[in-house]
Structure 1
Amino acid sequence: MKKGLIFFVIVIIAGTIIYFNPFQKTSTDDIRLILPETSLFTLQFENTKKVSELITSQPWFEAVEQIPLISDLNKSIQSLDSLNEVGQLKSRLSQLPAWISMHTTSSVELTPLFIMKSEGFDWQLSSIQELGEKLFREPLTLSNQEFDGKEIAVLKSSELSFAVLIEGPYLVISENTILIEDVIRAMQGEESRLLKEGDVLKKSDILLIINSARLDELASVFVEGNDFSFSRTRMSGNVIVDLDIKDNELTFRGSEYNQSGLASNPSDVFGKNLIPLTSSSFSWRPNQVKLSELVNYFQNGFCTITIGRAQAQEQVYLMPVNDTTEVSNALRNMAQGLLAPSDSTVYKEKYISSEIGYINDEKFLRDMVEGLNNDAKAPFYTLFQNFLILSSNLDALKTVLDDFENESTWGRSIERRRILDDMIQETDLTYVQDFEYATDQIRRSLKPKWKQFFAENPEVLDVLNLFKVQLNLTGKSMLVAGNLSFRENFKSPIATDVKALEQQNILANVFTDKEIITKPYIVRNHNNSSLEIIFQDDANNLYLTNKQGEILWKKRIEGGINGKVHQVDYYKNRKLQYLFFTDTLIHLVDRNGDNVDGFPQKAIVSRPFVGSSVIDYANNKDYRFLAVDRRGDISLFDKQGELLEGWNPNTIGSPLLETPFHIRIRGRDCFVAVETSGRIHLINRKATPYDGFPIKVNGRFSGDIVIERGANFNQTFISLMTEEGEFIKSNFSGEIIQQKQFVRPSVNTVFTLVDDALETDFRVVRNDGRVLTFFDSELNETFSVDYPNSRNISVDFYNFRNGKEVFAIRDNDARIMRMVNRNGEFLTPIIPSNGEISMLFYQNRLEYEVFVNFANQMNIYAVKPL
């Protein structure tokens, strides 16, 4: 849509009222005969000015004003009011009934069709031309063309061209003549009309008419492929709803004429305790099981949960079960009958308190349940809490089990549970989308034109909070109700000068006896779920503090902490303890600062530990404790601190890039260990290497190890970077599948791979000592910053979704850090720092909380994103 067209159109319309004539009623005095079937959706305004005043008064208007249709419409209404005030118009045109119908005119364009209904006067084409020439101070050429016996006027200036149709009380205008022709077709035949028999229009401040048959067409304008398919809904006709605008939400209520004749079969809103807080969307619909051997064992209801992963969204499905034993036996028999030729036994994996199975048939779920799309694939399954849980992604299925165990679900959150409980509990469709976790995937799915638009106007998406809709069949109608809520904080204040950046807000600080020697570890209080901070000073004092800067306790321990502080549930009772290693001791301290019985435990090792990790194979809290020494030798202990066979130690013989860690792929346990000297190890649970490992690479590795999880060993990848600038990617089968040498401007230039702290993405950083250059996970350059440094640089990367990507750049020799966003804009001045930081992000107030240790103090900074 050409910029300014709406302004032009509506101001031109205003001029016709100066020359009004009495209006004679015609056979087309009915909007039903005007609106064409090609409309994707139509907005009806009973009083356009009233609606405009209401929208512009909302706190979220500043965000949506970036949308050209809204901004131009608002400017046009203001211009009309100005003309009224100076007496140039004899009627309040902005208060007339109006319709805006949106249509696709290309693969990436929406074009509006404007309709306005006069009250007691005739529209005058000559007046439109005359006033337009006065307003734009240039001639407007007028030409006419005929379509099916109706005359279409075309007015052109040097910049704009638009078509006009006058039909009785209606004035129809569009920049695209084809849309005017669609109106004429609608006037001549019911099959070409948007409104069908049974559709009921009423007077309303704002009425929205959605052509549900064209929802996929609407989506295709914005997104690539079929990432957002609406064909799975049960709508088939026009959805007509009233819109009600409030301070923080837009509510809608209405109905659809049920042309399909579907009968109501409502599903409960069930499984609330199994919906992770990090779900981007979830929905409930009726369920019809097709398989005769299973049909009697399921209740009605099918829940789809969408969980955001690193670069994609994964679906998890829930089905309520009557008889878990019978369903389990039937699925196990199916799995046995569908064994792959390479498998000797049915796959099963114990995880938490469940057994996960696998059915080697991607059509299994579609064959079992009526009405699913081709993208519904779910070979992994488990029975849990009287539900069958299925997914094509094993990690997504485990996320549901993990978050239930950690009470991090919608049903366990007081605020989120209230949202669900306030909804109708039996519906033919309930759909909820949480934009906090959906926005990134929406951006990734957009076509280039719209990616650019939303990159330039991020507030348009950032202002969105939660979308809910529920459908209920009743007789010949489908009732529709829901709302779209908005965020109160969606735009950060922009720091305009260095002084503004320097005014960092310190929320709290803590002073210690000696210099702090560890990272500030953020831990959770298991009593009230509040966040606290634990760290150690150079006198070996261990501190636990709250976020207000109060020291909760201080405890002197034997030796300095080597590696991380881990939180574990040692007794499996939801009470958390702190696990860490000193030179040769395993420590376990409870939340009151007391040693757990039997700890510290002396480890029989030849060299001091330098790093540690915690392994929980089945997430059932039967922990294994891993530690590594400076020679790269790996020791693995059971929960009681006893060394395990083959791990006492497992000798690598060379320093490691980072502490080895555990990952499970299709039930196979793997330990990843990477030598800085260029060897990649993949070790099994029995401490022996997997086939194809170790892999030897020329060069010294630098930075982090990045893992991309896949369905099997061939599809799970290890990514690494050499100091000299070679990017290496191998799979878990021991094959190098990608190598790329970056341009190295000088022999002093070094490269580092930086993993996201939240494990969703990674970046490559090139450092020449004066400039840092950042590359994305596709290895494309994104930005660079001037940052003179000692070359002993570390970068912490946090991807908090919704475009909130932030980097903490630390010069370890100079002991300073600065924060920079994904556009290369500095968010802070130089901040003194001992080492690695911790960070949180609060979407509700658009603020980072940054935890920084320096000398003998721990500071908590509030930092605003730009």
Structure 2
Amino acid sequence: MIKKLVLLSVVILSIFFLYIKNSDINQLEIWSVIPSNSLLVFEIKDPLNKWKKFSSEVNENDFKQLKKAVNKELNDFDEFLNNKLDILSENNELIISVSKTSNNNFDLLFSSYKNKLDLNFIIKKLRDSLSFDVSTRIFNSHKIYEFLDDESLFSAVVLGDVISVSKNSLLIEDAIRTSNKKSLQFRYVNNQLFNQVMIQNDLGNIFVNFLELSNSFQDHKHLFNILPDKTFLDIRIKDNIFYLSGFSTNNTKKLNDSNLVDDDMIRVIPRKSNYFTSSAISHKINRDIIEYGRFSFKSSYSNLDHEIIILDIYKSDFLKLNINDFEDNEIIEIQNNIILEVLDSLKYEYEKIYIYKGKKNFYISSSYNSLIEFEEIYTSNNFWRKEIKFSKFLSKLNKNQNTTILLNYKELSKNYSFLDNNILKEIDLISIQLSSINDKFYTTVNFNSNSDSIRVISDSNLTFKAKNKLTSKPFIYFSHVDNSPQVITQDENNILYQLDKNLNKIWEDSIDSQIISKPFIIDYYNNRKKQILFATKNKIYCYDRLGNILSGFPIENPNKNDEIDDINIIDYDKSKKYRISLSSGNKAFLIDKYGKTLKGWNPLVMEDLLVEAPKHFRVRGKDYILLSLENGDIFLKNRKGSNYTGFPVKLENKLFEKIFIDLGQNFNNTSLVALDELGKTYFIGIDGKIKKENQMFRRSKNSKFKILTDPLEKSYIRLSVDDDVIYFKENTLNFKNKIDFTYQFYSLGEGKSFLAVTDPKEKLTYFLDMDLEPKFKNIFNEKDISVIHSKNISYIYTTFNRTISVIEIKN
């Protein structure tokens, strides 16, 4: 009887354990198949809706390759599933894990719950409809399906309700092994990462194994020495920048937990730098803390990378350096035990040590030539922060942190072939920052796209090369023959060119000096044919479309004792009986189109220099001529040069910006908008009364204020510029402006206005929207641009050295 009971117990227990085993397999969680040695793990819940959310939040032209690839795969898969992909995705979860499978190869494992997915249906359709060869093999008691066609091979396995797919069958085997052993499972091994508070309704989560990743970046392993072993990050996107944030675990390294206070180091990074790091280390003996920076940049003279360490000059006592031992712009070789200790702790390789003293920092390198080239960059201020997109990216970083890493993906990826991927190439900048909070490190990773927010269709083949370096912007007017765009420009030898719509030269002529006014388009003979009229400092010229100078031109400067500063054209009643107004020092002239000076304006002598030539406008049939002086006096005069009642208006401060005429339908809603040198804006009625005043924010005594008018003179904006900041409305942009940049405003309607900021020294033009966000990539250009906008395409006319080019941009 006892034997029977024992036997029955064994049978029952065997059935129970078999049931438990099968039950475990059928109830297997998705994380149970994710290997613990994965480098990166992406977790996305409700993946199809999350993808739609991502696509709607990112700009149309950002991450185009990624969106193109994923959308194609989703569309093909949806068609394959008879348009049932949304059913499979709803309330489901997708985990993508990245593993290193050889020295330079990384493969993906896709895992999800199969839900109502009929595997037999999938296999049959792959075999019958798509001509895949389907085979199976057994590994650790589990069936692996392998699918092969002429181009690709992929494998799959079903473990309980979880299906895993990969192009590398080794990862499928790894998933099977992992499912059977907790010590191999990512979630079990990294349980601390999963105890964090996770943001709801984000784009997903990512788990990063920095410890494993570092083995793939041997040339930059020191970057990983200042990072935690592993980190968990939530994913969200705003203003086309990805923000990843969460807490880290650190098992093997002592990380910096001192807040960085010196943000000046980041301001001296050269262009084309591979990376920049900033953190702090402590002295081995006295435990004093010293901040350091480290960056690497590509040489302009060779294919070498220069690596430099930055140390705070105010820590010279700590470093046991005497500042008086250093001459300006001098590079010297040193022997210093403290510095050697710092370099050793940073795993910086050296045989000799050289040092260069800047204004706020010491720059240290093992290569004399590295510091020679950096000194050229330093003295010319050729820094990365001067690129607006980089500056904007910096403005999004955390201000309080313990460690910062900046990566230039384009430059860094040149060192590693496995990063040469069309999708990854869309990444521009990456930042990693650590902040110490309650003995944990809060990690933030940001990255942006290098794509254009406005698409450049082509760098057009439309180009023109002048005989000499061009000195003027490409002025555009439209032909009376076929309304096609024509270009007027000039080179440094005073040769004037007119170009047709294809930038072919129509004519050229040599004139006395440089053009000082924009070309005005007139109909001199009142026969519906156009001529161009402009001024140099000595003369006024007028040409027809074939390059013939009109009879009676050039007109000599009526002021024999000074040069022409500016001209304007007046056509009182559209009768083509043109008047030419000009300013010359403190004198204002009006002459008729034949060059005869007019009564009351021969000349009109003012108390100070004129801001611009007299400008005409008409309200309800009444003519007004506006004059503004640098001392802040504003005049409205009639045709004879007499003041209107209420004028002059005297402003509180000097005036250097041209006045905008806000022309209304009647006297009451017409205003003069004046911006003085201290940023106060005056809205003045044509009765001479100041309607209101508005003070712009003045950051410092060096603030400069500008009023920018659209080329059609129908709208304007105001902005202020400091040495390092541009302000517009509530938006700011950190940017060095110590040289004379030029600023242009274009209003294309439908919310498509933009700023063009040209740096003549760097020969770059930056395009900004009305939030001071980059509009599209910088373009090489030296002078003010010209723009034609038609059918959602902007044609940008640029100047570089001797060449005019046209770039087409789709808005």
Instruction: Select the residue among 408, 415, 423 that pairs with 1:445.
Output: 415
8 A Cα contact 1:232 1:372, kept in partner:
no
2: CA distance between counterparts of 1:476 and 1:189?
A: 31
Map 1:303-314 to 2 at 5 A: 303-310=293-300, 311-314=303-306
Task: Tell me the distance in 1 between the aligned counterparts of 2:283 and 2:536.
Answer: 57
Q: Deviations over 1:801-848 (max 9, x none)?
A: xxxxxxxxxxxxxxxxxxxxxxxxxxxxxxxxxxxx996575944533
Partner Cα distance (1:218, 1:242) in 2 = 24
1:848 aligned to 766, 780, 786, which one?
Answer: 780
- Cα shift readout 1:356-405 (whole Å, capped 9, x = no counterpart): 321379x9855334631244677111344453321234455456666665
Q: Which amino acid aligns with 1:301?
A: E
Matches of 1:513 and 1:252, distance apart in 2: 51
Give the match's secondary structure for 1:260: coil
| TM-score for the superposition, normalised by structure 2 | 0.51
CA offset digits 1:55-106 (Å, max 9, x no partner): 4446666564536xx655432322344467x666793446621111122334
Q: Deviations over 1:605-645 (max 9, x none)?
A: xxxxxxxxxxxxxxxxxxxxxxxxxxxxxxxxxxxxxxxxx
Asked if 1:427 corresponds to 2:427, the answer is no
User: 2: distance between equivalents of 1:408 and 1:513?
Assistant: 27
Tell me if the contact between 1:255 and 1:479 (Cα under 8 Å) persists in the aligned partners. Answer: yes
Contact 1:238-1:257 at 8 Å conserved across structures = yes
Out of 172-181 and 299-308, give the one that drifted further.
299-308
Are 1:285 and 2:279 counterparts? yes
Matches within 5 A, 1:488-499: 489=452, 492-494=456-458
Matched, 1:144 2:137: yes
Q: Quick check: 1:211–1:238 contact (8 Å CA) kept in 2?
A: yes
**SS of aligned partner of 2:456:** coil
Distance 1:360 1:212 in 2: 35
Query: Which of 202, 214, 217 in structure 2 is aligned with 1:216?
Result: 214
- Residues 423, 193 of structure 1: alpha-carbon distance in 2 compared, 3 angstrom cutoff: same
Cα distance change on mapping 1:538 and 1:396 into 2, 3 Å: farther
SS of equivalent to 1:200: helix
C-alpha distance in 2 between matches for 1:218 and 1:550: 65
Offset at residue 473 of structure 1 (A): 3.3
2:100 corresponds to which of 98, 101, 104: 104
Deviation at 1:129, TM superposition (A): 1.7
Q: Summarize the alignment of residues 162-201 of structure 1 with structure 2, pairs less than 5 Å apart.
A: 162-195=154-187, 196-200=190-194
Aligned position for 2:74: 77
Structure 1's 47 and 306: CA in aligned 2 closer, same or farther, altered over 3 A?
same
Change in Cα spacing, 1:328 to 1:245, as seen in structure 2 (3 Å) is same
Give, in angstroms, the shift of residue 546 of structure 1.
11
Match runs of 1:580-619 below 5 Å: none
Query: In structure 1, what residue type is equivalent to 2:210?
Result: S
Shift in CA distance, 486/380, structure 1 to aligned 2, threshold 3 Å: same
Write the letter of the residue equivalent to 2:363: I
Tell me how far 1:237 sits from its aligned partner.
Answer: 3.2
Change (3 A) 1:152 1:331: farther
The equivalent residue for 1:275 is 268
User: Residues 133 and 414 from structure 1, CA distance in 2 versus in 1: closer, same or farther, beyond 3 angstroms?
Assistant: closer
Give the drift of 1:471.
Answer: 1.1
Deviations 1:457-485 (A, max 9, x none): 5x963x54432221123345321113112
C-alpha displacement of 1:48: 1.6
Could you list the runs of 5+ residues in structure 2 that have no partner in the other structure?
Answer: 1-21, 467-472, 477-486, 497-508, 521-531, 540-760, 768-775, 785-799
Distance 1:104 1:312 in 2: 29
Which of 316, 339, 346 is the matching residue for 1:372? Answer: 346
* 2-structure distance, mates of 1:477, 1:105: 32
Q: What is the aligned partner in structure 2 of residue 474 from structure 1?
A: 437
Of residues 234-243 and 155-164 in structure 1, the stretch that sits farther from structure 2 once superposed is: 155-164
Corresponding residue for residue 579 of structure 1:
none
Question: How many residue pairs get matched?
Answer: 497
Name the aligned partner's letter for residue 31 of structure 2. R
Please give the residue correspondences for 1:572-721 in structure 2 after superposition, counting only pairs within 5 Å: none
Q: Which amino acid aligns with 1:270?
A: D
Structure 1 gaps of 5+ residues are 1-22, 220-225, 333-347, 519-536, 557-836
1:343-354 aligned within 5 A: 350=327, 353=328
Give the Cα–Cα distance (whole angstroms) in 2 for the partners of residues 90 and 327 of structure 1.
Answer: 63
Q: How does the TM-score come out when normalised to structure 1? A: 0.48
Change (3 A) 1:374 1:132: same
CA distance in 2, matches of 1:442, 1:377: 25
Which secondary structure state, in structure 2, belongs to the residue aligned with residue 483 of structure 1? Answer: strand
Inter-CA distance 157–375: structure 2 relative to 1 (3 Å threshold): same
TM superposition shift of 1:29: 3.1
Deviations 1:447-504 (CA, angstroms, capped at 9, x unpaired): 3x865x6xxx5x963x5443222112334532111311224527631379x7x77999
CA contact (8 A) 2:269 2:276 kept: no
3-state SS, counterpart of residue 194 of structure 2: coil
Match of 2:363 among 382, 389, 392: 389
Query: Matched residue of 1:270: which SS?
Result: coil
In the aligned structure 2, how far is the partner of 1:551 from the partner of 1:108? Answer: 64
Task: Calculate percent identity across the aligned residue pairs.
Answer: 13
CA gap of 1:140–1:419, structure 2 versus 1, over 3 A, is closer
Distance across 1 between alignment mates of 2:276 and 2:40: 25
Decide whether aligned partners of structure 1 residues 268 and 376 sit closer, same or farther in structure 2, where only a CA change above 3 A counts.
farther
Separation of aligned partners in 2, 1:838 and 1:87: 53
Instruction: Determine which structure has more spread, i.e. the larger CA radius of gyration.
Output: 2
The aligned residue for residue 146 of structure 2 is: 154
Q: Distance in 2 between matches of 1:161 and 1:254?
A: 37
Superposition deviation, residue 210 in structure 1: 1.3
Q: Which letter maps to 2:154?
A: F
Q: How does 1:229-240 map to 2 (within 5 A)?
A: 229=221, 232-240=224-232
Match of 2:121 in 1: 127
Change (3 A) 1:325 1:547: farther
**Alignment-derived partner of residue 116 in structure 1:** 112
1:49 CA drift (Å): 1.0
Note if contact 1:65-1:71 (Cα within 8 Å) is conserved in structure 2: yes
Partner of 1:36: 35
Between 271-280 and 414-423, the greater mean CA deviation after superposition: 414-423
SS at match of 2:226: coil
The CA distance in 1 between the partners of 2:439 and 2:80, in whole Å, is 47
Distance 1:380 1:364, change over 3 A: farther
Amino acid at match of 1:242: D
Which whole-Å CA distance do the structure 2 matches of 1:838 and 1:510 have between them?
24
**RMSD (CA atoms):** 5.0
Q: Hey, what's the Cα distance between the residues in 2 that align with 1:161 and 1:512?
A: 62
Cα distance in 1 for partners of 2:493, 2:766 equals: 29
**1-structure distance, mates of 2:513, 2:465:** 32
